[in-house]
A and B are shown apart, each in its own frame.
Chain A
Amino acid sequence: MINLFISAIVFGTVILYGALGEILTEKSGNLNLGVPGVMYLGGIAGLASAFAYEISTPNPIPAVCLLISFVCAFLAAALGGLIYSFLTITLRANQNVTGLTLTIFGGGVANFFGGALNTLAGGVGQISVATTSAAYRASLPLGSKLGWFGQIFLNHGFMVYLAIVLAILMHFFFNKTRMGLNLRAVGENPATADAAGINVTRYKYLATCIGAGISGLGGLYYTMDYIKGTWASEGTIEALGWLAVALVIFAVWRSLNAIWGSYLFGFLTWLYLYVPQIRAWLIGALHLDQDALQILNLTRSSQELFKMLPYLATILVLILVSMRKKRENQPPASLGLPYFREER
C-alpha cells in the first residue's frame, strides 16, 4: 500500500508541473492546448542536453548534468510557449488550433529526436543518461530511515518538492503581489487591464512562456525520474499532458488545489494495481466470504476502466462548477479569446 502512495506522488508530480504551468498561462487568458507538446519539448531537451554532455566527457559531474538539463528543458518548453504566444497574441490566431498544433509539433520533435538521437550521434540502441538521472533521483538521506512516513514523503528526488514550493509560490504570486493581481486582471478582462495601464501583451507573453517552461519541467521530471533517464515514445507524455489540462480544471485554477489534486489523480491512476489488496483487506475486515465483492476482482480489461477515474472526476468538477456558477470558481473570463485594442 505504501507503494501506491509513492507512485501516486511520483505520477502526480509530472502532471503537477504541467498543470502549474497551464494555470499560469490560463490566468493570462490564454488556453494553451499545447501542454502535452511543451511537456514533450521539455522532456526531450532535458534528455538531449544531458546526453550531449554525458557523451562529451568521461566523468560527468552530476551538478552540471542537473543544471544543463534543467535549464535546457525549461528554455525549450518556453520556446514552444513563445511560438504559441507569437501566433495567438501577435498574429491573433485561434488559441485552440494553435495549441493543438503545438502538441502535434512538440510530440513530433520529441519523439523524433528521442528515437533518433543515438542514431544521429553514431551510436546504437536506446539513449540513456545514467548520471543525470541518478542526480535527479537522489533523495534525502533521511528518506529511507523514517519508516512509512519517510518512504512516502521524504524519499523523492528534489523535483517533487520543487513542484510543491512552486505551487505555493504561485499562490502567493497571484494573491499577494502586484504582478499577480495585474495578471489576473489581464485574464479576466484585458480591456480593463489595458485601460488601467497594464501592458496586456507583455503579461500574456510572459505568463505563457514561463507557464510553458514550467509545464516543460513536467516532461523533464518524467524522463529523468519516472522512466529513469531514457526515452519512451509510446505517447505517455501526451496522455499526461492532457491529464495536466484536466487537473487545471479540477483545481479550479488554484495552484494549491493542484497539489493535492495531482496526487489524487496519481492515486486514482494507480489504484487498480492495489484493488485486489483492498478487496482482501475489506473481506478480512468485514468478515465477508471469499467470493464477495467480485466487483473489485479486476481483470486486466476492467483495470482499464479504472484508469478513467481522473477524467471522470474532472468532468464532474467541470459540470459542478458550471452549475454552481460561483464567480470565484469560473475559468478566467477572457479564456480563449484574443484581445485587440483598437477593435471597433
Chain B
Amino acid sequence: MSSPNVHHEPLIRIAKRDGLAVWKNWLIRLVFVLIALLLSGLFIYAVTKLNPLKVYAAMFEGALGTKRRVWITIRDTMMLLCIGVGLAPAFKMKFWNVGAEGQILVGGVATAGLMIYLGKSAAMSTPVMLLVMALASIVAGAVWGVIPAVFKARWGTNETLFTLMMNYVAIQITSYCVALWENPFGSNTVGQINPQTKAGWFPRVFGLDFGLNVIIVMALTIGMFLYLKYSKHGYEIAVLGESERTARYAGIKPSRVFIRTMAISGAICGLAGFIAVAGASHTISTSTAGGRGFTAIIVAWLAKFNTFVMLLISFLLVFLQKGAIEIASQFKLNDFASNVITGIILFCIIASEFFINYRVIFHKRKEAGSK
C-alpha cells in the first residue's frame, strides 16, 4: 500500500446526487445511446469494413425500409413492450421476476394447444376462440408466476433463482408439447397451426396486419401505467418495493401483495405468449419466447417502470436488431450480430444510469506542505 505519511485526499470521490433535472437525465441517456451506436458501428466496421454511415443507412432500411418491415418492427416492439409491461409491477415491488421467459412459454403452449384442439372441430367462431385462448394463456402465466411468489411469501425463498429455474421447467414442457403435436410427423416442429382455416389467428383489424397486437398491447401499456401510478394496488406495490417494514407498518400484507402482483405479472407475460402464438408466429416452439423474457427485464428496469418509456426502449432495441439482421444478411453473416449490438447498447444504457445517479468529484487539491 502507499505510505500513509503522504497527505492527500483520494483522487476521485463519488457522491450520490439527488433530483437532477429531467432534461439532463435524458441528455445523459442520449449521449450514452450515441456512444452505443458508435461502438456498434465500430463493431460492424471491424467485421465488414463497410463505411459506418452506409451501415446505419442499411440498418434503417432493414428496420423500416418497406411497409412490411415497418409492421414486423412494430409487431416485435409490441411483443417486447408487452412483456416489459408485465414485468413492471413485479420489479417495482423489487420482486425479481426473471421467469418471464417461462411465463410466456406456458401462455404460448396453452394458446397453441387450444388452437389445435378447438381448430379441429371448427365449432367455435374465431372471436370466441381467441377469447378462450387468451383466458387460458392468462391463467397459465399467472399460475407460473404465483408459484415462486407463494414460496417467497411463506419462506422467503429467493425468487430470482426460483423464477429462473421455472423457465427451464417451462421449456421442457414446451418441448414435450412440441413432440406431442408435431406436424408433419418426424419434423420435431409443430409447423403452422390451422394454415387453411386460420382458426384462432388474429384477424386483420382496420386492414392492418398486426392491428390487434398493437391494440392489445397499447391498452395494457396505458392500463399498467394507470394501475401503477394511480390505483391503491399500485401504491401498495410502491410502498412494498421501497421497504417491507414500512409496508407492514401501513397495514399492507406483503405476502398478499407478492402473490397478487405476481399473478398479474405472470398473467400479462402469459398473454404475451398468446399474442406471440396467435398473433404472430401461429406456431409454438421452445424459441417462442426467444430470450425476450430476459431482454424485457432490462427494458422494464431501465425504464424505471414507466410503461411509456418502455415503448421507447423497446422500439430502439427492435430497430437495432432488425437493422443488424439486415446488415448480417447483406454480408452473408448471421443474425446473431443483432444480439451483439443489443448487448452493446444495453451495456451503455446501464452505464448511463450511474452518471444520472451519482456525481464524480475529482480532487485537484494543492499538495499540503508535508514534503
* A contact residues vs B (CB 8 Å cutoff): 31, 33, 83, 87, 91-94, 96-98, 100-112, 115-116, 119-120, 233, 235, 239, 242-243, 245-246, 249, 299-305, 307-308, 311-312, 314-315, 318-319, 322-323, 331, 336, 340, 342-343
Kindly state whether residue B173 has any CB partner on chain A within 8 Å. yes
Are A331 and B158 touching (Cβ within 8 A)? Answer: yes
Interface residues as binary, B281-296 with A (CB distance below 8 Å gives 1, 0 otherwise): 0000001000100110
Instruction: Tell me the bound Cα distance from A91 to B351 in angstroms.
Output: 7
15 additional contacts (CB under 8 A) given A108-B343, A246-B161, A301-B176: A33-B164, A93-B353, A96-B301, A101-B298, A108-B336, A109-B340, A111-B334, A233-B334, A249-B161, A300-B179, A301-B179, A315-B169, A318-B157, A322-B157, A322-B158
Given contacts A108-B342, A315-B162, is CB(A305)–CB(B358) below 8 Å? no
| Contact A308 B346, beta carbon cutoff 8 Å | no
B172/A31 in contact, CB under 8 A: no
Q: Are B358 and A92 in contact (CB under 8 A)?
A: yes
- B-side binding surface: helix, strand, loop or mixed? helix
Task: Say whether, besides A109-B340, A301-B179, A308 and B347 are in contact (CB < 8 Å).
Answer: no
Contact B336 A233 (CB under 8 A): yes
Chain A binding surface SS class? helix
Contacting pair A242 B168 (CB below 8 A)? yes
Q: With A and B bound together, what is the CA distance between A68 and B17 in angstroms?
A: 46
Give the complex CA separation of A91 and B298 in angstroms: 16
**Does B167 reach chain A (CB closer than 8 Å)?**
yes
**Cα A98 to Cα B347 with chains together (Å):** 7
- B339 near A107 (CB under 8 angstroms)? yes
For chain B, the count of residues having a C-beta within 8 Å of the partner chain is: 58
The reply to whether the CB of B55 lies closer than 8 angstroms to some CB of chain A is no
A55: min CB distance to chain B, Å: 18
- Given A105-B347, A336-B160; A315-B172 close (CB under 8 Å): no
Bound-state Cα–Cα, A106 to B339, Å: 8
Which residues of A are found within 8 Å of B155, using beta-carbon distances? 319, 322-323
**Contact digits for B148-170, partner A, Cβ 8 Å, 1 yes 0 no:** 00010001111011101111110
- Say yes or no: B350 contacts A97, CB within 8 Å: yes
Chain A CB within 10 Å — which of B47, B171, B347 has the most?
Answer: B347
In the complex the two chains form, what is the Cα distance from A110 to B336 in whole Å? 8
